[in-house]
Structure 1
């Protein structure tokens, strides 16, 4: 009885807060409000939100649980907010699930906008673009080549390709961040990332963001998430200790070395808003969470689309053979010369357009009162950029739902993609992700022809209720070797 009374009291307080908020906004010219409270239960949320735009326009408000949010469904509104008025829209909402993820350390992806956040991002971005710039492409090439050699041993048998891609991308991040690609460490990190994504995406945790007062009640999902986070932090702390014990002045073996040197230099300068080792800790976490599964999922979508469109796969292999020769298994096109493979670049762009792996980005929050398309946007408003919806806009793209890489082969006719976001919150790992997509797909198509096992094509429909990432239904692919010795290898399978 007491519990029921408490629930009723909390519900009344939430309703009173909602009504008070609406009363305060009565004099503003707000975006139109979509009726209803259960929008989050839609199975394909980005497409559902795009459908609402046909009735309410490219910008509207709706309620996610007890929270009012503004949804942006067009390239124009997203770029107005995130690029033209980026300072106004660079914040992050103080969501309960975010606080769980970064309870002990300041986070980069989930952290709110501030001068210290800017310094944090600059440190991580510099480590990626400067600290390991010379070693990034050779390492990705080496691991991609080893990846193909490992797959060649499975040629002819159905392969769960997404798992293979996940281990590959995790190996790349471990090497670049820790300078270590030993299988034991890679498997430890890989398993923790899988556990973390599963625990964070569980409905019992995500419900906290829609109905915040639920955090006061026992929640097994939260308890499980905290266990996974403790394991995550132990993995990173071990690497931090190892790096600090062997750190040498003027020498950067990997990204962690670079960031530790950066924190040390700032400590010596003793300026305000100091970066600490906790910032390095969470930058590493962001690289693993944002740089492994996202790229692996995009590679998997690419394979799925090519299985559905064998004519595109054939043209890609002809392009590779023309540039490298049909027997040149060890040859490659450097990323700087990627223009030599225009169809491969176009195919990657088309996959990113149709299936941006974080289709609704992470929610933004206004840092001060602003406006979009003439509508008032109060301070503290949660903003959801529907990246996938914007890239399926019929006013921008011809036949937007069709897989057609050729649309990107017409100079000057294709708008800028939003797959990695834009503005101050542009994805930190975009340069690495684009490099991986180019190198891995080139190597894979050079080495194999991709076939559907027993003619069974994978589904191109995303999993419903898949959380932050646009997950796909599990599928397998048969790899038919190409090049010297391929025929005899295929006969032996």
Structure 2
């Protein structure tokens, strides 16, 4: 009995000491909910960073505030000014990537997306340079996108106006663009391995930003004991990496190092070139993770945005009509859509940007980390502090958008009907970690979207009275499954 009392007293003493320590550590940080031992203050947002909880957080504590993930501080940025200044002022100081329990399980500090320091600098620099060699931003990649747009048009043509779920065909088309770049070949719609690959990425994306994800980060010892989403995500990650390693074996067997044709070829050549350089980070593990990152970044976000694009055309048929009138007035029916056409299609270009803004598929950026003591919006931020930017809040900031909660292409048009860019359009983030595939994504979205609307009028299937515009919450904000009819124009 006495031992039990002593143990309870000891536990209470330790918890009280930790509580007081957290209150002491939180001095000097931006305001935020009171942190408690073990769980920190992540409880305040119900262990999930969603629109409502982040808006409530900003309303209560301001556009820069602090949450604690366990005993680790995380500065949250909300609204255009806070996000832009927080990510671009002293940008290099906050360019680190957090090495948490989950991120280490998923990437182990390798590749482009979740790496730091020399690994990140070398892998990102190589990634950008290689994508440019493979045609990013020019006619080389444009031809690959046009090819996939053609296959997607043929898919809808074959359905002859029947109701169809466009999700997988869109994912297939977008993924094949990055497949051609990374692997040097495309997959057919019937390929079972490709379907498994897409399902694996869907599982990983669904796990990110979920209740379970945050609980695993705060209580990693519990994650190992409980079966479920984390184990499924790790299994999916292992499946993708195994697939990539098989592709690498096939590339080595072909021996195209002297005349590289795709990303893996270029990487194999780089490994050979850098094998005697002491601080080189070019090895097979970094190659596998870089391919994983490129595939995830180059397919998931663009495919999800296109799914929203077609959904919005069903919801706003008048806007679809205006886009098609502009396409008909400027381009001939047989014209092969190219990215340069956007300069002659201001309204269509504005619609595409409004789709990116209004769908706002990335609620928060992958948290960054202060790589040294720095200042963020006037607050001293110690090395190791996490920085979480709510990108969604910049795209709906009422101080910078006339009608933030309405789908309004006029946000990107001046009084003369000319296309204009907007400072608050941070759909691809900002600072040192800005999306490296922004140009490629915009090319894909524009070419595929215009190619489809040039050929088809998209309508709601007969009998459907209401379109579900709600989101499926995860690492990206997906639309609920829906069907449409693609009627040949």
Shorter-chain TM-score above 0.5: yes
1:376 aligned to 2:375?
A: no
**Cα drift, residue 223 of structure 1:** 3.2
Tell me how far 1:96 sits from its aligned partner.
1.2
CA RMSD of superposed structures (Å) = 2.7
**Are the equivalent residues in 2 in contact too, given 1:46–1:360 (CA < 8 A)?**
no
Corresponding position of 1:487: none
Matched, 1:58 2:86: no
Q: Which residue of 1 aligns with 2:100?
A: 95
5 Å matches for 1:122-271? 122-133=125-136, 134-183=139-188, 184=191, 186-198=194-206, 203-268=211-276, 270-271=277-278
The equivalent position to 2:469 in structure 1, one of 460, 479, 487, is: 460
Shift of 1:307: 1.5
**Hey, what does 1:472 align to over in structure 2?**
479
Kept in 2, the 8 Å contact 1:158–1:453? The answer is yes
Q: How far 1:66 sits from its partner (Å)? A: 5.9
Report 1:268-417 matches (<5 A). 268=276, 270-325=277-332, 328=333, 330-410=334-414, 414-417=422-425
1:271, distance to aligned residue in structure 2 (A) = 4.1
Question: 219-228 or 157-166: which moved more?
Answer: 219-228
Contact 2:149–2:173 (Cα < 8 Å) also in 1: yes
- 1:337-373 deviation digits (Å, cap 9, x = unpaired): 4211111211111121122222101111111122222
Give how far 1:187 is off: 2.9
Deviation, structure 1 residue 63: 4.0
Offset of residue 7 of structure 1: 12
Moved runs in structure 1, 4+ residues, more than 6 A? 5-15
Aligned residue number for residue 486 of structure 1 = none
Q: Deviations over 1:191-236 (max 9, x none)?
A: 3323433455664444211323424534344333333232222100
Distance in 1 between residues matched to 2:135 and 2:260, nearest whole Å: 8
In structure 2, distance between residues paired with 1:162 and 1:14: 49
2:275 partner SS? helix
The whole-number CA distance in structure 1 between the counterparts of 2:7 and 2:336 is 65
Shift in Å, 1:150: 1.1
Within the candidate set 91, 113, 121, 2:124 is matched to 121
Rounded to whole Å, the distance in 1 between the matches of 2:7 and 2:122 is: 43
Does the aligned pair in 2 maintain the 1:39–1:64 contact within 8 Å?
Answer: no
Q: Which runs of 5+ in 2 are unaligned?
A: 1-5, 35-40
Moved more, 123-132 or 430-439: 123-132
Task: Rate the CA distance shift 1:216–1:303 in 2: closer, same or farther, 3 A.
Answer: closer
C-alpha distance 12-236 of structure 1, shift in aligned 2 (>3 A): farther
Inter-CA distance 32–195: structure 2 relative to 1 (3 Å threshold): closer
Deviation digits for residues 31-63 of structure 1, max 9, x if unmatched? 111356434438881343134323432111234
CA distance in 2, matches of 1:364, 1:314: 42
CA distance in 2, matches of 1:205, 1:7: 30
Q: Aligned to 1:88, what secondary structure does the other structure show? A: helix
- Bigger CA drift: 138-147 or 271-280? 271-280
Distance 1:322 1:208, change over 3 A: same
Query: Which residue does 1:449 correspond to in 2?
Result: 457
**Normalised TM-score (structure 2):** 0.88
Q: Which residue of 1 aligns with 2:24?
A: 23
Conserved 8 A contact 1:174-1:186 = no
Cα shift at 1:79: 2.0
| Contact 2:394 2:424 survives alignment (8 Å) | no
Partner residue in 2 for 1:489: none
Q: 1:429 aligns with which of 419, 426, 437?
A: 437
Contact 1:97 1:206 in 2 (8 A): no
Instruction: Please give the per-residue CA displacement for 1:308-346, whole angstroms capped at 9, x wherever unaligned.
Output: 211111010011111113xx2x31242134211111211
- Which string of whole-angstrom CA distances, capped at 9 and with x for unpartnered residues, describes residues 278-331 of structure 1? 221111101222222211110111112221211111010011111113xx2x31
Question: Does the 8 Å contact 1:131/1:258 carry over to 2?
Answer: no
In structure 1, C-alpha distance between the alignment counterparts of 2:187 and 2:380, rounded to whole Å: 53
1:158 is displaced (CA, Å) by 1.4
CA distance in 1 between partners of 2:370 and 2:12 (Å): 26
Instruction: Determine the C-alpha separation between the residues in 2 that align with 1:114 and 1:265.
Output: 21
Corresponding residue number in structure 2 for 1:485 = none
What SS does structure 2 have at the residue aligned with 1:153? Answer: helix
Secondary structure, in 3 states, of the residue corresponding to 1:87?
A: helix
Structure 1 Cα separation of the partners of residues 195 and 141 of structure 2: 21
Deviations 1:74-115 (A, max 9, x none): 222222222221111111222211111124x7132122x302
